[in-house]
Amino acid sequence: MIEVGHFIGGKRVPGQSGRSQDIMQPMDGSVRGQVALASKEELRAAVENAKAAQIGWAATNPQRRVRVLMKFLDLVHAEYDELAETLAREHGKTIADAKGDIQRGLEVVEVCIGAPHLMKGEFTDGAGPGIDVYSMRQPLGVVAGITPFNFPAMIPLWKIAPALAAGNAFILKPSERDPSVPMRLAELFIEAGLPAGVLNVVNGDKEVVDAILDDPDIHAIGFVGSTPIAQYIYSRATANGKRAQCFGGAKNHMIIMPDADMDQTVDALIGAGYGSAGERCMAISVAVPVGKETADRLLEKLIPRVESLKVGPSTDSSADFGPVVTKDALERIKCYVDIGVKEGAKLVVDGRDFSLQGYENGYYMGGCLFDDVKPDMRIYKEEIFGPVLSVVRATNYEDALSLANDHEMGNGVAIFTRDGDAARDFASRVQVGMVGINVPIPVPIAYYTFGGWKASSFGDLNQHGADAFRFYTKTKTVTSRWPSGVKDGAEFVIPTMN
Element spanning 409, H or E: strand 409-410
Measured in whole angstroms, the distance separating CA 412 from the mean position of its chain's CA atoms is 13
Measured in whole angstroms, the distance separating CA 49 from the mean position of its chain's CA atoms is 26
Residue 335 appears among annotated catalytic residues: no
Q: How far apart are CA 346 and CA 484, in angstroms?
A: 82
CB atoms under 10 Å from CB of 112, counted, come to 26
Nearest by Cα to 46 from 5, 97, 1: 5
Rg (CA), the chain: 25
- Please check whether residue 456 is in contact with residue 247, taking contact to mean a CB–CB distance below 8 angstroms: yes
Q: Of the listed 246, 281, 335, 368, which one is catalytic?
A: 281
Q: How far apart are CA 137 and CA 58, in angstroms?
A: 11
Alpha helices in 282-360 (DSSP H): 292-307, 327-343
Strands (E), 98-167: 123-128, 131-139, 142-146
Beta bridge partners of 34: 3, 22
- Please check whether residue 299 is in contact with residue 256, taking contact to mean a CB–CB distance below 8 angstroms: no
Q: What is the distance in angstroms between the CA of the first residue and the CA of the last residue of the chain?
A: 73
Q: How far apart are CA 421 and CA 411, in angstroms?
A: 23
CB atoms under 10 Å from CB of 129, counted, come to 10
CB atoms under 10 Å from CB of 205, counted, come to 14
Do strands 30-36 and 453-454 pair parallel, antiparallel, or not at all (unpaired)? unpaired
**Long-range interactions of 79-86: CB distance < 8 A, separation 24+:** 79/184, 79/188, 83/153, 83/181, 83/184, 83/185, 85/315, 86/180, 86/181, 86/184
Provide the annotated active-site residues: 281
